[in-house]
Each structure stands twice: as C-alpha cells, then as structure tokens.
Chains A and B, each alone.
Chain A
C-alpha cells in the first residue's frame, strides 16, 4: 500500500474512532439526563399527589358507610388530586383506575415503598411505559398504593431521533473529512512521489533531473539532500565519462597508430615469404622490418608511460630543488644538443617544490627534444624557471596557430612524415600534459612562425587544480 494511503487511512480511522466515541457518549448522556429528568418530575408529582390524597383521606374520609361509598369517595379523591394517569390501591385491592391500562397481574406489581417513590419502566412492543408508585398509610383504613402509569415513549423516540440525526451528521461530516484528509495527505506526499520519479530518472541515466523543493519540512530536507547527491553523481559520472572518453580516444589512436608499422612488417615479411625478389631488395625488406619493429617498441614504451600516469600509485612526490632537476636534465641533453650544434641555456630562480623527479625530468627532456627538432644548428634553447613556471623556449620554426590546440593530443604531429623520420611517435606532449596535471599544473604554449615556440609548465598549486 502506498504511504499516503496508509497515512490517510490511519488519520481517518483515528478521527472516526474518536468522534464516534464522543458522539456516542454525548447521545448516551443526553438520553440518560432526559429520562432521569422526566422521572424525577413524575416523582415530585407522585409525592405531592400522595400527600394531598393522604390528607384528604385523613380529613374527609366517611366513616361508617359501606364499601361502595368508601370506594366512591376514594375515586373522587383520586380524580380530584391525581388525574388521568393514576391508579389507587387500598390494601392491595384496585380501588380506582383512571388510566387506559388494566392491571393484568396483581402479583407482578412491585412492592411500593413508604418513604420513596420507586418505579419500573415496562417495555411493550414499541412503547415504553413508566410505572411509578408510593405507599402511604391512613389511620384506621389500612395502607394505600398510589400508582402512576405513563407512556413515555415520546422521550425515547426523541432520543432515537436525535441519535439518528447525529449519526447522519456524523456520516456526512466523516465523508467530507475523509476526502479532505486523503487529498491533504496525498498533496503532502507529492514531494515524495517527485523524489521517486527523479530517482528513477537518475537511475535511468538522466543525471540532470532535480527535485523541486517546495517546503523546508522533513520531506523538503530529504529532497535537498537528494539534490546534493544527484549533483555529486552527475559530477562524478561526467568525470568518469571524460576519463573513459580520453582512454577510448587514446586506444583508438593507438590502434590506428599501430597499423602503420604493422602494415610494413606484415607486408615485407609476406614479400620475403612469397615473392621472388633480389638480394638487395631482401636486405631492404629486412631493414624495414627491423626499423618498424623498433618503432613499435618505442610506441609501446611511451604508451605504457602514458597509461602508467593514469595510475596515481606509481607517482612518488619528494621535495626537490629545481636547480638540481635542471642539472640532471643538462647532463642528459648535453651531448644531444652539442651533436646538433645547438646550445642549452638554463637559469633557475625557483627553490624546492614537491615533484616526482623522474617524471619532471622526462617532461623537460621531452620539451627540449621537441625544441631541438624545431631548431637549426647554431640556435640556443632557453630553459627558465621563475615564480611558478618552468619555460622551454626555442627560436626555431614555430607552430602554425591553428595547430596549437591539437598538439597535446596523443599521436598528433604537426609534420607527420618529418616527425616520424626524426623518431617521434607523437606522444611527447600528451605525456607532458599528463605529467603537468599530476603536479597540479598545466601547459601554456605560445608560438610565433619562424620565431620559435615557448612552452611553459605552470604550477597552479593544489587549490588551482580545484578551480580547473
């Protein structure tokens, strides 16, 4: 069963129960009060009638006359002081009866008391009959019973009508209230429904859906917490998608990039196996197979590096002097630079910073190698560390402006055939970008055609990374 149904059923049950009991008690009390009021009225009446008849008998009773006279007197007295509803008994004998009723069974009559007016209510079919009596004595003429017989059905009818009316009112009010309670509960539960739909949408992959927070009650707070959760999920899913998209692109590029050396290797080995070629051609084929295999090796090495960089566990940060890093890079690149007839000039105005020394070294070596490829003999390559940036500047041929955004993509080469001849596989700057990101930094690339390129690693610090 749904929550709103449960809640409203509970509320309706409680309401009906409470008002039912209340109404019942009110009706019951009213009935009791009416009856007891009527009875005590009649009691007063009987008492005073008894008194008056007793006085009359004591003062004016005819003595010495026959029973007939006596009976007449008593009947007269009864008519005079009592009225239509009275019966009079003398020593248990019915002497006067002004009522419409007969005494069916003398024995069944209750014993009336002397002091108090006692009564019974007799129910016959749909009539309630009050029988009320008092005994009184008169010197010399024995004991008398004055009995009042009164049909009080009217009172009961009134009570019943009242009860019915109340019941009808109760049903009507209940019907209205039940509806109101149902609607109100349903309305109050609507945020929960919305929460459910939104959660369903979320699990269905629509991470943009949010719950509309109407009130700041408990449900509202749940909705708010839910929205926060949804935001978090959306962000994380986006991040995951981004990472997997990058990996997919990387894998796609890799598969594509593997095909070129594979084509050569398969083709030349196929040729050697099936085609009759000269000794020279055979040698050429073998050389190609050899060099293309080496290219595959380099490619897989760089790929492993790039994939390794996605795995943060393999990175170890230590506090290290930038000057010492420069020294290491200079030792590595000295011969390479000299061989090409170029000059490497470093200047360091940075202190120590946390870094993975091997990675930073390979970053700088990559940037310097790129600079060497772009430069002519006699050029200088500057490596400068100032504030929070390390810059590698060359004075070579530069990069066309439209190529700049693409050069950090894996496998991108500005001059494809030339770079391949220079031994590049197009992964250098992609690697550098990853390494910079690991050090909470990014690459800034500026280039002027025929006037060289400046690539800077800018360290944003841990806060900077959060913004980016």
Chain B
C-alpha cells in the first residue's frame, strides 16, 4: 500500500482530538495527536515529515498563533481549527500564513474535504491511492487494476478519486454531485447511480463501493 499522508493534530480537548484522529485514520491518513502547545516543537523535531497540521488556537503552553513560526520553519501547512468565529481571529490566522481556517463546531466531511484540498494545493498529497487491487496514479490520471490500465470517463475518474480519498466516509448523492460536477450542475441524482454502477462494473468494486441506505455511497476498506 502506498505511503499515507501524515497529519499532526494539536488540540487540547481529548474528545475533539480523538474525534479528529478517528476520522482522519479511517479516511486513510496517519495521525499524531499532541495535547499541549509546549510539546509541539519537540514532537516536530523528533518526528519529521508531517504533511499537515491541524492547529487549535487556544492551547495550554503555547497558543496556535505562537506555533505558526515553528510550522513554517518545518514547512508544515497549517489549518486552524478553533471556536473563535470572529473575523479578526480568522484574518489574524490567515495572515499568519495558515492555509485554511475551520470554525468549531464543524462537520466531518467539511474537515476531510478541506484537509484534502490543502494537501492538493500544497503539493503534499501522495500520488498513489490504493483501493484493494486498484491503483490510482493522480499525476498521470491513470487507474490500473492488477497492473492493467482501466479506461474511465472523466466524471467516473473524479468520482472514484473523491471516494478513494475519503475512504469509509459516506457521501450523499447531492454532496457527490456538488463535489464532482460542481454546484451549478442541474443534473439528477440518478446520474450518480449510473456512474457508480459503471465504476463497480469496470473495476470490480461492487463489494467495496457500498450503497448506504437513505444516505448515499461509501468506499469501504
């Protein structure tokens, strides 16, 4: 299996830290939780090569704004994750050099998509995603099954990438439409069903791309 993206989760509330770690793990990331702002620099020194940091602003030890320099030095993109919803804090965070700013409370899907987009934008994203015996090479736009190239239509490819990047997370048909076809697409949700059917047939993923009743689809692993 391809190497996973490593994410540093700096959050002092154990419940929220566990929540983020749990979801990022099942979505296919490798995570390391840190609870105290004072510990961060040590962790970064010891375990290099983080692709992203989710950073709470109000922390014991050093606060999120203070930690920004350390993150810059080590070339770790930062997404702030905070309860401070005021514009001033947002501006301060983004000015300091954060890639994104997520206000608590947030939805899991929002978190995952933002993480994915930041990784994409900063070029930290791993090029290969493996789903069973299917391998996706993002840079080449190539999908292979057991080493053999499978030809997919553009929309089928985008749909597969979205699901594969967010493993184990269920998307509603509307969310899939928005993400793949764009929010101004006026198609029916039936389109999704047709494309999912094509993916299952072409790649033999009937067992892996599951239909979740009343919700939508989920790529399980």
Q: Is the CB of B19 within 8 A of A264?
A: yes
Q: Is the CB of A277 within 8 A of B22?
A: yes
Q: Is A400 an interface residue (CB 8 A)?
A: no
Contacts of B35 in A (CB 8 A): 417
- B-binding segment of A144-152, A255-263, A431-439: A255-263
Q: Compute how far the CA of A261 lies from the CA of B15 in the bound complex, rounded to whole angstroms.
A: 8
Closest Cβ of chain A to B163, distance in Å, is 12
Contacts of A277 in B (CB 8 A): 22, 26, 168
Q: Is the CB of A288 within 8 A of B105?
A: no
Q: Is B220 an interface residue (CB 8 A)?
A: yes
Contacts of A256 in B (CB 8 A): 83-84
Q: Is the CB of B13 within 8 A of A420?
A: yes
Q: State which residues 82-123 of B face A: CB under 8 Å.
A: 83-84, 104-109
Q: Is the CB of A276 within 8 A of B168?
A: yes
Closest Cβ of chain A to B170, distance in Å, is 4
Q: Known interface pairs A259-B105, A260-B13, A263-B83. Does A273 touch B215 (Cβ–Cβ under 8 Å)?
A: yes
Task: Mark contacts of B180-221 with chain A using CB atoms, 8 A cut-off: 1 yes-contact digit, 0 otherwise.
Answer: 000000000000000000000000000000000001001010
Q: Compute how far the CA of A304 lies from the CA of B215 in the bound complex, rounded to whole angstroms.
A: 39
Q: Is the CB of B60 within 8 A of A416?
A: yes
Q: Is B130 an interface residue (CB 8 A)?
A: no
Task: Mark contacts of A273-289 with chain B using CB atoms, 8 A cut-off: 1 yes-contact digit, 0 otherwise.
Answer: 11111000100110010
Q: Is B67 an interface residue (CB 8 A)?
A: no
Q: Is the CB of A275 within 8 A of B26?
A: yes
Contacts of A417 in B (CB 8 A): 12-14, 35-36, 60
Task: Mark contacts of A400-425 with chain B using CB atoms, 8 A cut-off: 1 yes-contact digit, 0 otherwise.
Answer: 00000000000000011100100000
Q: Is the CB of A268 within 8 A of B60?
A: no
Q: State which residues 136-170 of B face A: CB under 8 Å.
A: 168-170
Q: Compute how far the CA of A291 lies from the CA of B18 in the bound complex, rounded to whole angstroms.
A: 14
For B171, the closest partner residue in chain A by CB is A274
For A295, the closest partner residue in chain B by CB is B15
Q: Is A267 an interface residue (CB 8 A)?
A: yes
Partner of B22, one of A259, A271, A273, A291: A271
Contacts of B13 in A (CB 8 A): 260, 264, 417, 420
Q: State which residues 282-336 of A face B: CB under 8 Å.
A: 284-285, 288, 291-292
Q: Is the CB of A284 within 8 A of B104?
A: no
Interface size class of A (residues with CB under 8 A): 20 to 34
Partner of B108, one of A267, A288, A292, A416: A267
Q: Is the CB of A266 within 8 A of B16?
A: no
Closest Cβ of chain A to B193, distance in Å, is 19
Contacts of A274 in B (CB 8 A): 108-109, 169-170, 215, 218
Main SS of the interface on chain A?
helix
For B169, the closest partner residue in chain A by CB is A275
Q: Is the CB of A284 within 8 A of B18?
A: yes
Closest Cβ of chain B to A298, distance in Å, is 15
Partner of B105, one of A266, A273, A276, A284: A266
Residue in A262, A268, A275 whose Cβ sees the most chain B Cβ within 10 Å: A275
Contacts of B58 in A (CB 8 A): 416
Q: Known interface pairs A275-B169, A291-B15, A417-B60. Does A260 touch B26 (Cβ–Cβ under 8 Å)?
A: no
Contacts of A288 in B (CB 8 A): 15, 18-19
Contacts of B168 in A (CB 8 A): 275-277
For A264, the closest partner residue in chain B by CB is B15
Q: Compute how far the CA of A284 lies from the CA of B23 in the bound complex, rounded to whole angstroms.
A: 13
Residue in B13, B105, B109 whose Cβ sees the most chain A Cβ within 10 Å: B105
Task: Mark contacts of B24-46 with chain A using CB atoms, 8 A cut-off: 1 yes-contact digit, 0 otherwise.
Answer: 00110000000110000000000
Q: Is A270 an interface residue (CB 8 A)?
A: yes
For A257, the closest partner residue in chain B by CB is B83
Contacts of A275 in B (CB 8 A): 23, 26-27, 108, 168-170
Q: Compute how far the CA of A266 lies from the CA of B58 in the bound complex, rounded to whole angstroms.
A: 20
Task: Mark contacts of A350-391 with chain B using CB atoms, 8 A cut-off: 1 yes-contact digit, 0 otherwise.
Answer: 000000000000000000000000000000000000000000
Contacts of A291 in B (CB 8 A): 15
Task: Mark contacts of B1-24 with chain A using CB atoms, 8 A cut-off: 1 yes-contact digit, 0 otherwise.
Answer: 000000000001111101110110
Q: Compute how far the CA of A266 lies from the CA of B19 in the bound complex, rounded to whole angstroms.
A: 10
For A276, the closest partner residue in chain B by CB is B168
Q: Compute how far the CA of A273 lies from the CA of B171 in the bound complex, rounded to whole angstroms.
A: 11
Q: Known interface pairs A284-B18, A288-B15, A416-B12. Does A267 touch B109 (Cβ–Cβ under 8 Å)?
A: no
For B170, the closest partner residue in chain A by CB is A274
Closest Cβ of chain B to A387, distance in Å, is 39
Q: Is the CB of A281 within 8 A of B22?
A: yes
Q: Is the CB of B26 within 8 A of A267?
A: no
For B167, the closest partner residue in chain A by CB is A276
For B218, the closest partner residue in chain A by CB is A276
Q: Is the CB of A259 within 8 A of B107?
A: no
Partner of A271, one of B19, B60, B106: B19
Pull 12 A–B residue pairs with CB atoms less than 8 Å apart, ordered by A: A256-B84, A262-B104, A263-B19, A263-B106, A266-B107, A267-B20, A274-B170, A274-B215, A285-B22, A292-B15, A416-B60, A417-B60
Where the two chains meet, the residues of B that have a C-beta atom closer than 8 Å to any C-beta of A are 12-16, 18-20, 22-23, 26-27, 35-36, 58, 60, 83-84, 104-109, 168-170, 215, 218, 220
Beyond A264-B15, A265-B105, list 5 extra A-B contacts (CB 8 Å): A259-B105, A262-B105, A263-B104, A267-B16, A275-B108
Where the two chains meet, the residues of A that have a C-beta atom closer than 8 Å to any C-beta of B are 256, 259-268, 270-271, 273-277, 281, 284-285, 288, 291-292, 415-417, 420
